[in-house]
Amino acid sequence: MVKKKFGRIINLSSMSVGLLEEGTSLYSSSKNSLDTYSKILSKELAKVNITCNTIAPSMYNTKSFRALGETVINSSKKKLQIQRELKLEEITNVIEFLFKKESGVITGQTIYLGLTV
């Protein structure tokens, strides 16, 4: 990307960063570190036309998501502005938007899907 002077880096974080749930300290702090890493990297790579952003989806039906159990899922769902599971297309839509050449001025951002932080 640096040689071509163009690129898009999109990292995936989690709603857990914004929810600040007990019992998620290690996971949430690692995802928060990814957010900070992306912001710093966006500054370092801006001069070579590379953007770096983070997407933090809320609830998406995966094996690890289901493993949380109904009690945790329902408790977390109540804290979201959009209180439902995301569709894959809703996540990929944001990814596709950030990959576009026309999105070249969007960098260093964390985009939360379904949650206001």
Do 38 and 52 meet the contact criterion of CB atoms below 8 Å apart? yes
> What are the DSSP calls for 84-97, one per residue?
SPPPHHHHHHHHHH
Length of the chain: 117
Q: What is the spatial distance between Cα 29 and Cα 33, in angstroms, rounded to a whole number?
A: 6
Phi-psi group of 98: left, alpha or beta (phi > 0 → left; psi -120 to 50 → alpha; rest → beta): alpha
Active site residue 112: no
Identified catalytic residue from 27, 37, 60, 112: 27
Q: Which residues are catalytic?
A: 27
